[in-house]
Amino acid sequence: MKKYIPYAIAAMVGFHLRWIVSALNGWSYSMNGMDIAVAITCIIMVWSFRGLLLQKKKKNRS
């Protein structure tokens, strides 16, 4: 269960990112499908980071 927490956080950040930026700048904004695409992009970025950079080193058996 703990391994899904970073993905859930990334989805929530991605889902609300454009809304937060709009609110801070004083713009009127309503959520749409692009927010879902940003959330998916954030999940993919977390998955890539965890999968590519945090791999355990394998011992070379020769």
Whether 29 is covered by a domain: the verdict is yes
Q: What is the DSSP letter of 53?
A: I
Q: Enter the DSSP assignment of 2.
A: G
Overall number of domains in the chain = 1
The range of the structural domain enclosing residue 9 comes to 2-40
Residue 58 lies in a domain: no
Which pTM value belongs to this model? 0.67
Residue 57 has pLDDT above 70, yes or no: no
Quick one: what percent of the chain has pLDDT higher than 70?
79
Does a structural domain hold residue 46?
Answer: no
Mean pLDDT of all residues in 3-25: 86
Check pLDDT > 90 for residue 14: no
Domain annotation covers residue 10: yes
Contact call for residues 14 and 42 (beta carbons, < 8 A): yes
Digit-coded pLDDT (tens) for 36-49: 888 888 888 888 88
Distance of CA 15 to the CA centre of its chain: 9
